[in-house]
């Protein structure tokens, strides 16, 4: 793997993609947290008419210096991306267009104008059409060492900017009213952020392409968000996922090309980043879908076990139809809460204490609803059936204090005392 960083042919694409991905991933975090992810998609597509205009002007003025066309492309893309942002902002603030409508309108308008311009360029300067195709989907393989310097400088500037404005940025993202109350220069910070974000987008055109630019900004941020609620941790993880996406996408592209499959670098970077995001959405310990489903299933299974204990405490028997109740009963026997005596199940001493505690929580909550909140007695049972499984010892203690250690519930049934 190390030869990717040192080989004269491979090092520029490897370092370039890695650094570009870090810069984009860092700038994508604030957009994700502000719920403005579609803005990256809009601005990336808004760069396309600027790309076409840059190539068009360069072809007309410097037809023999095509190696410097990338500078014209960057300039045109930067101007049109900012124009797209100000158009969106104007539509939202001045004309009260909803955010999604403004973003969709600008995306379609600018990208459509770029396509029309590309067709005109092909008719007037047919030899330059290849440049547009390269910039539409990216061509990292043609990077040179100078691109390492450009991407490295961008990543450094982005990292320094986020470090310097971390506290103000945190205030703006999570409590804008507080930020305004302490007189933070919100407008200036947001404008600086947009300029850096646009720079991170347009510089990534060479490696990822106009169409896929937004994915590199959002996918690592989505993956990072699943692992933490702290902004500094999310930023670090996003940068890590971005770096891994840039590096592994480039590696897979090279390996695919060696096998004769011709895998393009830009799409491979996006696919790797999307894979990280998908895996995080599924398997992140706190937010991942699989773990959330597991926690829900475990909670429902615990509720079933507690309901069986409560039924045995009240009636001495419980119908067991289906696999889950039988599994719950087996679990209770394994923990020494239930024993089988003469073909029937009975609570052990420990099981009786736990069952009585569940009944106590149920009846305390019923009494609280009727006495403190004014609920009708006939309507509190169902709510108590749900709450008895989630009441904590602290809440139980507070209920006992508020209700003055009651002895009966609203139905005049005794509230068990737990030793």
417 membership: H or E segment, kind and range: none
- Of the chain, the percentage scoring pLDDT greater than 90 comes to 50
pLDDT at 180 over 80: yes
How large is the average pLDDT for residues 157-164? 93
Tens-digit pLDDT profile for residues 127-152: 777 667 667 767 777 777 887 888 88
234 membership: H or E segment, kind and range: helix 231-258
d(CA 140, CA 204): 10
Note the pLDDT of residue 284. 95
Least confidently predicted of 205-209, 222-226, 291-295: 205-209
User: Which CATH number is 3-286 given?
Assistant: 1.10.3470.10
d(CA 337, CA 347): 6
pLDDT at 319 over 70: no
Tens-digit pLDDT profile for residues 34-80: 988 889 889 988 998 998 898 888 888 877 766 677 778 888 989 99
Read off the tokens for 104.
């969709």
Domains in the chain: boundaries: 3-286, 293-402
How large is the average pLDDT for residues 205-215? 76
Note the pLDDT of residue 230. 94
**Per-position DSSP letters for 66-84, written without gaps between them:** GGGHHHHHHHHHHHHHHHH
d(CA 7, CA 239): 24
Using CB atoms within 10 Å of the CB of residue 312, give its burial: 0 to 12 exposed, 13 to 18 middle, 19+ buried: buried
How large is the average pLDDT for residues 237-251? 93
Those residues with Cβ within 8 angstroms of residue 184's Cβ, 6 or more apart along the chain or in another chain: 168, 171, 172
How large is the average pLDDT for residues 249-275? 83
The single residue listed with the structure tokens 């609620």 is 229
pLDDT at 315 over 90: no
Question: Pick the residue with more confidence: 46 or 204?
Answer: 46
Read off the tokens for 294.
């597991």
Least confidently predicted of 56-65, 81-90, 125-134, 349-358: 125-134
How large is the average pLDDT for residues 364-387? 92
Task: Catalogue the E-assigned strands of 269-321.
Answer: none
202 confidence band (pLDDT: 50, 70, 90): confident
Note the pLDDT of residue 66. 64
Closest to 244 in 3D by CA, of 12, 13, 19: 19
Note the pLDDT of residue 25. 92
Provide the total of helices (H) and of strands (E) in the chain, helices listed first: 18, 2
Least confidently predicted of 186-190, 341-345, 380-384, 399-403: 341-345
Least confidently predicted of 29-38, 113-122, 206-215, 394-403: 206-215
Mean pLDDT of the chain: 88
Those residues with Cβ within 8 angstroms of residue 104's Cβ, 6 or more apart along the chain or in another chain: 38, 42
User: Which fold does the domain 293-402 belong to in CATH?
Assistant: Arc Repressor Mutant, subunit A (1.10.10)
Give CA 171 to chain center in angstroms. 20
d(CA 229, CA 390): 24
- Reduced to 3 states (helix: H, G, I; strand: E, B; else coil), residue 419 is coil
How large is the average pLDDT for residues 269-294? 94
pTM for the model: 0.84
Least confidently predicted of 200-204, 318-322, 358-362: 318-322
Backbone angles phi, psi at 26, to 5 degrees: -65, -45
């Amino acid at each position: 793997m190390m030869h990717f960083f040192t080989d004269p042919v491979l090092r520029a694409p490897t370092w370039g993609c890695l650094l570009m991905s870090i810069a984009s991933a860092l700038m994508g975090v604030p957009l994700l947290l502000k719920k403005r992810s579609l803005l990256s998609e809009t601005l990336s597509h808004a760069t396309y008419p600027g790309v076409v205009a840059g190539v068009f002007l360069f072809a007309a003025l410097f037809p023999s210096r095509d190696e410097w066309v990338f500078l014209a492309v960057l300039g045109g893309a930067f101007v049109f991306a900012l124009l797209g942002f100000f158009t969106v902002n104007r539509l939202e603030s001045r004309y009260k267009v909803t955010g999604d409508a403004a973003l969709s309108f600008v995306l379609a308008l600018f990208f459509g104008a770029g396509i029309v311009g590309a067709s005109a360029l092909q008719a007037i300067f047919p030899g330059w059409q290849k440049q547009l195709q390269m910039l539409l989907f990216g061509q990292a393989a043609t990077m040179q060492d100078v691109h390492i310097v450009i991407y490295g400088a961008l990543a450094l500037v982005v990292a320094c900017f986020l470090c310097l404005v971390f506290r103000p940025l945190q205030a703006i993202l999570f409590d804008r009213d507080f930020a305004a109350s302490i007189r933070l220069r919100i407008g200036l910070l947001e404008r600086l952020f947009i300029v850096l974000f646009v720079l991170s987008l347009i510089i990534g055109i060479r490696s990822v392409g106009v169409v896929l630019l937004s994915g590199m900004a959002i996918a690592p941020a989505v993956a990072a968000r699943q692992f933490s609620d702290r902004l500094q941790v999310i930023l670090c993880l996003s940068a890590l996922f971005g770096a891994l996406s840039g590096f592994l996408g480039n590696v897979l592209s090279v390996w695919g090309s060696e096998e004769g499959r011709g895998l393009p670098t830009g799409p491979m970077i996006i696919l790797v980043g999307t894979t990280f995001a998908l895996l995080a959405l599924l398997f992140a310990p706190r937010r991942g879908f699989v773990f959330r489903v597991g926690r829900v299933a475990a909670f429902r299974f615990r509720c079933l076990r507690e309901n069986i204990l409560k039924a045995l405490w009240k009636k001495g028997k419980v119908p067991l139809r289906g696999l889950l109740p039988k599994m719950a009963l087996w679990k209770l026997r394994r923990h020494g809460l239930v024993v089988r005596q003469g073909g029937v199940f009975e609570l052990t001493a420990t099981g009786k204490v736990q069952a009585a505690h569940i009944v106590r929580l149920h009846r305390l909550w019923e009494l609280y609803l009727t006495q403190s909140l004014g609920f009708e007695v006939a309507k509190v049972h169902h709510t108590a059936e749900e709450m008895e499984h989630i009441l904590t010892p602290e809440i139980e203690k507070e209920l006992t204090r508020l209700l003055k250690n009651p002895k009966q519930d609203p139905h005049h049934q005794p509230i068990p005392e737990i030793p």
